[in-house]
A and B are shown apart, each in its own frame.
Chain A
């Protein structure tokens, strides 16, 4: 079946502009996660969704970052007034259910470059 998909695959934007990143999880997966991967770094957890609810937003780097999920499926990560330090690969993952023993399946990522 289809895996996790993300769009766009690459996004180049100018500093100060807003961007929207999209994630389509695997059908039937209730849990969805966003991570950020800076060059040569590990995966930084940003936010997770259980259904449409995001109980913990503390991983978001600043209030310029927000995310939503609708219909228990597609999620968008929005970055307002982008800064150069926002440049990174943004990865989305989904799992059948929330919590530890459920494998997280990753999407291909969106490479964001802020000029």
Chain B
């Protein structure tokens, strides 16, 4: 089955700086990579996703990059703000599969 590793486990950044979270996956057939954000005490919510037919996707201050050859993908948050403080989870799956395999999560703290 798919195995997703996520680094770092915790990340502290100064407000306005960038944050980068990296994930690797094991199944070369995986072709869908969503990112979920979970604020303290709240439910996980999808913030961005990428399919394997593109190398990068951007939505305002967040972007995701995918390197299929190396089997890794990354989340980039620019101009971080206090409301970006949360746990971020990466996940991977095949589009014809039902099961999302999640990374262990990264706790991001944005310091004012």
Interface residues of A (CB under 8 A from B): 4, 31, 33, 40-43, 45, 48, 50, 56, 59, 91, 98-101, 103-104, 106-109
Contact = CB atoms under 8 A, between A and B. Distances in A.
The 9 closest A-B pairs by CB, nearest first: A100-B95, A100-B32, A42-B104, A106-B43, A43-B102, A42-B102, A100-B93, A106-B44, A108-B43
Contact of B99 (A40, A41, A48, A107): A48
Contacts of B43: 4, 91, 106-109
B59 to A, nearest CB: 14
Given A91-B43, A100-B93, A103-B46, A45 B101 contact: yes
A107 B44 CA distance: 8
B83 interface: no
Interface string B21-38: 000000000011010100
A108 B38 CA distance: 10
A31 B43 CA distance: 18
A108 B42 contact: yes
Nearest to B51: A101
B46 A100 contact: no
Contacts of B51: 101
A50 B98 contact: yes
30 contacts: A41-B104, A41-B105, A42-B6, A42-B102, A42-B103, A42-B105, A43-B44, A43-B100, A45-B99, A45-B102, A50-B98, A56-B98, A91-B43, A99-B93, A99-B96, A99-B97, A99-B98, A100-B93, A100-B94, A100-B96, A100-B97, A101-B32, A101-B51, A101-B95, A104-B34, A104-B46, A106-B36, A106-B45, A107-B43, A109-B43
